[in-house]
């Protein structure tokens, strides 16, 4: 196991090596990593690297309902392999679109939470394609990024307000956005002209067993994603839409983690939550749509 200090040094060196990718979230000028301890822009706005080696680039403090417990549950569920079929599909899409280049392929995971998806994707793609891949994960929740930077080195981790992304223009080959809010103007700005956006949204049957118990017969018991797809299509050329559907049996402990890691149970009556938590076993449906987008006209003109 690497000590916390070693991880900080590895993460800080990576930030320093790729400081050209960054720009100041306040004034958009270029930044420099100084003494492996701060990111400073040409107008002297300064952002310190944490003891885990991530950098907090928020310009104001933000409180979210996504707490440490939620991300710890998410990490356990992800590491138990429940998202593997989705992760594999994302990796396949990346590898199909890879071109032989010596420069690193840059992937940005927007809303990366505790980082386990990005880390799994990086590991699998590198193992299978031997490509040089640089991953950066951003999230507005500091709690998620702390767990990510403690758990995974060799990736760039930042606490970021999505409307002020700290990266320069046309930087990324892939932007991933898995079950998390989007900012299409920023995606467009940061994506290379021939890059690809991969947005994962829940399919109509996603966690239907939980929804069925939580929301009974109300309209929240069925998930609709038409407006998400329409919004995506207004911003990017939708080149493919892929369904990934499977089910898995969870034991009592995993059901509890699953309930903790999704906002699904927020606002649900205690009685309905207890009904789920009391189950010793539950078959859970995973249903996702992967939207693949290119910049409008980009793949036709070059």
Q: If binding is defined by CB under 5 A, does position 30 make contact with Zn ion? A: no
Please choose, from the candidates 66, 6, 64, 81, the residue with its C-alpha nearest in 3D space to the C-alpha of residue 36: 6
* Least distance to Zn ion, CB of residue 24, Å: 3
* Least distance to Zn ion, CB of residue 272, Å: 48
What does the H/E/C string look like for 212-257? HHHHCCCHHHCCCCHHHHHHHHHHCEEEEEEEEEEEEEEEHHHHHH
Which one of residues 24, 90, 158, 198 is an interface residue with Zn ion (CB under 5 A)?
24
Classify 25 as helix, strand or coil: coil
Q: If binding is defined by CB under 5 A, does position 26 make contact with Zn ion? A: yes
Q: If binding is defined by CB under 5 A, does position 163 make contact with Zn ion? A: no
Q: Judge contact between 176 and 288, C-beta under 8 A.
A: no
Q: If binding is defined by CB under 5 A, does position 39 make contact with Zn ion? A: no
Tokens representing 24 are 């100041």
Residues whose CB is less than 8 angstroms from the CB of residue 51 and which lie 6 or more positions away in sequence, other chains included: 4, 5, 8
Size of the site for Zn ion (CB under 5 A): 6
Q: If binding is defined by CB under 5 A, does position 233 make contact with Zn ion? A: no
* Residue of minimal Cβ distance to Zn ion: 24
Q: If binding is defined by CB under 5 A, does position 165 make contact with Zn ion? A: no
- Residue whose CB is less far from Zn ion, 43 or 132: 43
Q: If binding is defined by CB under 5 A, does position 58 make contact with Zn ion? A: no
* Least distance to Zn ion, CB of residue 47, Å: 9
User: 242 — phi, psi (to 5°)?
Assistant: -120, 130
Tokens representing 230 are 């329409």
Q: If binding is defined by CB under 5 A, does position 27 make contact with Zn ion? A: yes
* Least distance to Zn ion, CB of residue 29, Å: 5
- Residue whose CB is less far from Zn ion, 44 or 103: 44
Instruction: Give the number of other CB atoms < 10 A from CB of residue 43.
Output: 11
Q: Which residues would be at the binding site for Zn ion (CB under 5 A)?
A: 24, 26-27, 41, 43, 45
């Amino acid at each position: 196991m690497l000590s916390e200090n070693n991880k900080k040094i590895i993460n800080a060196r990576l930030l320093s090596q790729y400081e050209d990718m960054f720009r100041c979230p306040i004034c958009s000028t270029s930044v420099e990593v100084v003494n492996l301890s701060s990111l400073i822009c040409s107008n002297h706005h300064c952002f310190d690297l944490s003891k885990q080696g991530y950098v907090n680039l928020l310009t104001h403090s933000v409180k979210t309902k996504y707490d440490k417990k939620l991300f710890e549950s998410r990490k356990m569920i992800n590491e138990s392999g429940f998202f593997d079929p989705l992760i594999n599909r994302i990796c396949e899409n990346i590898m199909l679109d890879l071109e032989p280049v010596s420069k690193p392929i840059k992937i940005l995971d927007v809303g990366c939470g505790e980082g386990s998806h990005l880390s799994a994707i990086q590991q699998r793609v590198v193992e299978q394609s031997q490509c040089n891949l640089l991953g950066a994960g951003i999230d507005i929740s500091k709690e998620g990024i702390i767990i990510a930077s403690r758990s995974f080195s060799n990736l760039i981790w930042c606490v970021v307000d999505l409307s002020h992304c700290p990266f320069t223009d046309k930087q990324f080959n892939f932007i991933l956005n898995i079950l998390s809010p989007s900012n299409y103007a920023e995606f467009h700005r940061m994506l290379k002209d021939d890059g690809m956006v991969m947005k994962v949204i829940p399919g109509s049957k996603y966690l239907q067993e939980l929804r069925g118990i939580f929301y009974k017969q109300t309209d929240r018991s069925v998930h609709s994603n038409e407006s998400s797809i329409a919004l995506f299509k207004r911003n990017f050329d939708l080149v493919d839409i892929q369904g990934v559907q499977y089910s898995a049996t969870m034991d009592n402990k995993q059901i509890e983690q699953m309930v903790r890691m999704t906002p699904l149970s927020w606002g649900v009556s205690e009685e309905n939550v207890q009904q789920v938590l009391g189950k010793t076993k539950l078959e859970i449906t995973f249903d996702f749509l992967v939207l693949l987008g290119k910049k409008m006209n980009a793949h036709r003109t070059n």
